[in-house]
Structure 1
Amino acid sequence: MKIIDIESWNRKEHYEFFSKMASPYFGFTTEVECTKAYNTAKENGISFFAYYLHKSMVAVNSVDELKLRIVDNQIILFDEVHGGSTIGRADGTFGFSFFHYSDDFETFNEGLQKEIKSVQNSTGLGISNDVLPINHIRHTTIPWRSFSALLHPTNFDPKECIPKITFGKFSIRDGKKYLPVSIEAHHGLADGIHLAKYIEEFERQLSL
């Protein structure tokens, strides 16, 4: 963990400018090719969701700007960030979840599957966002449809700083599978180039 010296930070003016806005989030929606990742998951009897979620977490942790958080008016660069995701239930509701990051898929997936079972056997929203560690990143999945745009709810808090990533149902074109991905972040902490770095690394991970 590292405290950023805001006065000497090359993003000082960017941070101050966007932090004055009621909603400083920005982002975009794109696609990543996921054919090989899907095939690998199915060949090994692995949940495709768990597989690509882990690849996303690896990519997130490769971009420092996505590990920055605002804590008590300080900018903190965390060594790593963990995962949070909405988990669907059989009754059509969902609950929030939290799981620790590991670069080892088996370790990551073990914790994720335990959390999925816990949420599916609970009611309401599950774990409260108020008690989640700030060094996590929010994921959600819309598995029923692909999409080309997305709108998130917001409480218009300029200190809200946890990035949001959303996945949709993959589409198939010319025999290849494409996963829609939306990513949003506090513009005072990250720019388009940093979100693009995440997307590029995510797609690279999916191709391994």
Structure 2
Amino acid sequence: YNCVFSLFYDSCIEDIDRYSQSVSLRPKLNEPSNSFMISALPWVNFTGFNINVFNEGRYLPPIFTIGKFIETGTSVLMPLSIQAHHAVCDGVHVGRFVQALQELSSNYKEWLL
């Protein structure tokens, strides 16, 4: 993580180059314990997506799945599925996250440069 997006992005590209051929679920060592995975299905458009993790209720990180970008007029839409365990997150938290994500997406010119 880096709060300067360009530095974060450069590090992300390095990780993609280094680990993209790995067959391990977690190829990068020493990841922080508060990390979570994001699945990307860039070739699939969806209106709902569900992953069932069987581990007796011990998997608590959120699960994010993003899909194919779609351009419609002046907008770009991206499907996003969020699954959160109710033991650690209420709907209000998901709502706040989605609201913040929309704000970042709408104002990307302010932070992306």
Q: Give me the TM-score of the superposition, normalised by structure 1.
A: 0.47
Q: Write the mapping of 1:180-195 to structure 2, written as runs, cut at 5 A.
A: 180-195=79-94
> Percent of pairs identical after alignment?
22
Change (3 A) 1:136 1:195: same
- The size of the alignment, in residue pairs, is 107
CA contact (8 A) 1:144 1:168 kept: yes
2:61 maps to 1:162: yes
Q: Distance in 2 between matches of 1:170 and 1:142?
A: 10
Quote the residue 1:125 is aligned against: 24
What is the one-letter code of the residue matched to 2:16? I
CA RMSD of aligned residues (A): 2.2
What is the one-letter code of the residue matched to 1:202? L
Quote the residue 2:98 is aligned against: 199
Q: Distance in 2 between matches of 1:128 and 1:153?
A: 22
Structure having the larger proportion of residues in strand: 1
Change (3 A) 1:129 1:163: farther
Change (3 A) 1:154 1:126: closer
Q: Write the mapping of 1:56-135 to structure 2, written as runs, cut at 5 A.
A: 101-120=1-20, 122-125=21-24, 127=26, 132-135=31-34
Change (3 A) 1:192 1:139: same
Query: Structure 1 regions of 5+ residues with no counterpart?
Result: 1-100
Structure with greater contact order relative to length (CA < 8 Å, sep ≥ 6): 1
Quote the residue 1:173 is aligned against: 72
Q: Distance in 2 between matches of 1:157 and 1:108?
A: 35
Query: Structure 2 regions of 5+ residues with no counterpart?
Result: 108-113
Deviations 1:164-204 (A, max 9, x none): 11110122334421111111111011111110111110010
SS of structure 2 residue aligned to 1:182:
strand
Alpha-carbon distance, 1:144 to partner: 0.2
Larger radius of gyration: 1
Alpha-carbon distance, 1:105 to partner: 0.4
Q: Distance in 2 between matches of 1:141 and 1:133?
A: 21
Alpha-carbon distance, 1:153 to partner: 3.8
Q: Distance in 1 between matches of 2:56 and 2:30?
A: 17
Q: Distance in 1 between matches of 2:26 and 2:41?
A: 20
